[in-house]
Amino acid sequence: MKALYKAGPQAGFELVDRPEPTVGPDDVKIRVMTTGICGTDLHIQSWDAWAQGIIEAPLIPGHEFYGEVVETGGDVRDVKVGDRVSGEGHIVCGICRNCRAGRRQMCIHTVSVGVQRDGAFAEYVVIPETNVWVHHDPSVTPELGAIFDPFGNAVHTALSFPLVGEDVLITGAGPIG
């Protein structure tokens, strides 16, 4: 498959051929139709100090995407081949103290798609079924579906505080801002 690839510890990406990812029993393989470009991806591309401290190349970046399910693992129950989907980019363990207490966003074993494992700047990406968001509404376009991850972060943040009647400063030029 074609992929944008961070081959090593230097600036830039390469367009290369990579093996298609394989599915595990709980995984979903998605044919990527559209991706968003996050600030994280720009850090990885420029190989700045942040990227140098967290990225272990080689890596396929990209975590904001929309696509079509082409294969599912044997234990996948609710996601079907042909579903149009986007995905949550933070893969959690499900068994640490925080996960078991319902605080999955604080999992101490979180792995990020396109940061610590291969991501969606490729023809295919594989993620666990628990990270897949099925878009049942046909009005969700591939472009809109690709920003569900950052938009969800913004909505979660806004709904985490009592903001009615408050002055709020919104910053940032991307989907979250």
Q: Just list the catalytic residues.
A: 40, 43
**CA separation, residue 151 to residues 38, 57, 75, 86 (Å):** 12, 28, 29, 12
The residue with tokens 């995407």 is 65
In the DSSP assignment, the letter for residue 101 is T
**How far apart (Å, rounded) are the C-alpha atoms in residues 9 and 20?**
23
- DSSP result, 49-75: HHHHHH--SSB-----EEEEEEEE-TT
Tokens 């499900």 belong to: 94
Q: Are 68 and 87 in contact (CB under 8 A)?
A: no
